[in-house]
Amino acid sequence: MGARLSPTERLRDKLESLRVRYDASYLPSDPLEFPHRYPDPLDREVVGLVASSLAYGNVKIIRRSVERVLSPLGPRPGTGVLRTEPKEILRELRGFRHRWTRARDVVCLLTFAGRMIEERGTIGAFFAESYVEGDMAGSLRRFSERAVALDHGGLYRSRALPKDAGVRFFFPNPLTGAAKRMNMYLRWMARPDDGVDLGLWRFVPTRDLVIPLDTHIFRIGRHLGWTTRKTPGFRAALDITRSLARFDPEDPVKYDFALSRLGILEGCPRHLRARDCELCALAA
């Protein structure tokens, strides 16, 4: 008879089983499907930035909004953000609304993406100038500050970006929130191409990534004792990431896609004592 597995080993095996189950065939349930449509790395960077930035709310509405925002850029979004004037895109997206995000907000996002590419060749190269290994919170803060200081192409009357400009929502400060969408974008870009993530930014080691903390991951993390915090901020995201590092210290967020499927596809119930959740039963 073989040695009995420890609780940590059993949970690792369960997590690995979930990764196998929720493979690339589940991409249609995730905004990551959009950059997968494009073979060119620059197109994937731009489309990934749009898709991750709008990844809040109902999945069906997210898909519709991303499709609409990408439509003025043509078949090559990576060059589309360079050759299309911001005010021209604004006219084409007149009336756009994604919850509290308006047309000017997403046009400014596209304009900033174009400025990053103009200045450094890729969005990744622009981010690399803000990145310090071992300090993801500081890296995100520096990147966001540099991004919103870029030229907005005349979208606002003042030369500087107004303090209440909606595009600031896409470039968060980890001190005031979980930075979920930016951490999601980083996971897509930095994790190896495994059929799910894209593996474009190899300068970011996967051990540095922080899990994109949404309500589903936060609930699962609290169920499993990975965080005891009451609010889903950046510190809670770090707690859950460090807990996942027990199972793979070099790539803890590799479990994010599978775990988020549990929540999005209702595989993890909302109530702690429900019997349906396999992870909770195993942790017990």
Cβ-contact 169, 182 below 8 angstroms: no
Q: Which of 22, 73, 41 lies closest to 216, judged by CA?
A: 22
Q: Is the pLDDT of residue 284 over 60?
A: no
Instruction: For residue 176, count other CB atoms closer than 10 A to its CB.
Output: 10
Q: What is the pLDDT of residue 5?
A: 83
pLDDT of residue 266: 62
Q: Is residue 111 located within the same domain as residue 228? A: no
Report if residue 199 sits inside a domain.
no
Tell me which H or E stretch contains 263: helix 256-264
Question: Do residues 51 and 158 both lie within one domain?
Answer: yes
- Residue 102 pairs with which residues in a beta bridge? 97
Residues 172 and 216 in one domain: no
pLDDT band at 29 (very low <50, low <70, confident <90, very high): confident
- Opening angle at CA 164, ends 180 and 65, nearest 5: 50
Work out the average pLDDT over 185-207. Answer: 97
Q: Mean pLDDT lowest for which of 15-29, 135-149, 177-191?
A: 15-29
Cβ atoms within 10 Å, residue 101: 21
Q: Kindly indicate the confidence band of residue 8, based on its pLDDT and cuts at 50, 70 and 90.
A: confident
| pLDDT of res. 264 | 75
Q: Residue 276: what pLDDT?
A: 58
Predicted confidence at residue 58, as pLDDT, reads 86
Mean pLDDT across the stretch 129-139?
Answer: 97
* pLDDT average, residue stretch 22-28: 93
Q: Are residues 173 and 83 in the same domain?
A: yes
Question: Can you give the pLDDT at residue 174?
Answer: 94
Mean pLDDT in residue range 93-118: 97
Task: Please say if the pLDDT value at position 273 is more than 60.
Answer: no
**Would 185 be classed as within a structural domain?**
no
Helix (H, G, I), strand (E, B) or coil at 98: strand
Do 165 and 39 lie in a common domain?
yes
Domain count, the chain: 2
- Tokens 């896409």 sit at which residue? 170
B/e letters for 128-164, b = 16+ CB within 10 Å, e = fewer, are eebbeeeebbebbbbbbebbbebebbebeeeeebeee
Q: Is residue 109 part of a domain?
A: yes
Residue 26 has pLDDT above 70, yes or no: yes
Burial of 185 (0-12, 13-18, 19+ CB in 10 A): buried
Q: Are residues 16 and 51 in the same domain?
A: no
Q: With respect to residue 123, please indicate whether it lies within any of the assigned structural domains.
A: yes
Tell me how far the alpha carbon of residue 125 is from its chain's centroid: 18
- pLDDT of 281: 56
- Per-residue pLDDT for 193 more than 90? yes
pLDDT for position 267: 61
Q: Is 159:196 a contact under the CB 8 Å cutoff? A: no
3-class DSSP state for residue 225?
coil
Residue 192 lies inside a defined structural domain of this protein: no
Please tell me the predicted confidence (pLDDT) of residue 2. Answer: 56
- Supply φ then ψ for residue 25, to 5 degrees: -65, -15
Query: For residue 206, is pLDDT > 80?
Result: yes
- The mean per-residue pLDDT over the stretch 144-154 comes to 97
> Tell me: the pLDDT tens digits for 73-101?
999 999 999 998 999 999 999 999 999 99
Whether residues 151 and 73 share a domain: the answer is yes
104 lies in a domain?
A: yes
Q: What is the pLDDT of residue 191?
A: 98
Q: Average pLDDT, stretch 24-35? A: 94
**Do residue 21 and residue 40 come from a single domain?**
no
Last residue of a domain, one of 140, 160, 177: 177
Residue 125 lies in a domain: yes
- DSSP, collapsed to helix, strand or coil, labels residue 243 as helix
Same domain for 234 and 139, yes or no, is no
282 pLDDT higher than 60: no
Per the CB < 8 A criterion, the answer to whether 232 and 176 are in contact is no
Range of the domain at 153: 34-177
Q: Do 149 and 274 sit in the same domain of this protein?
A: no
- Does 45 lie in the same domain as 20? no
Is 222 found in the same domain as 122?
no
Percent of the chain topping pLDDT 90: 81
Residue 41: how many other CB atoms lie within 10 Å: 18
Domain annotation covers residue 198: no
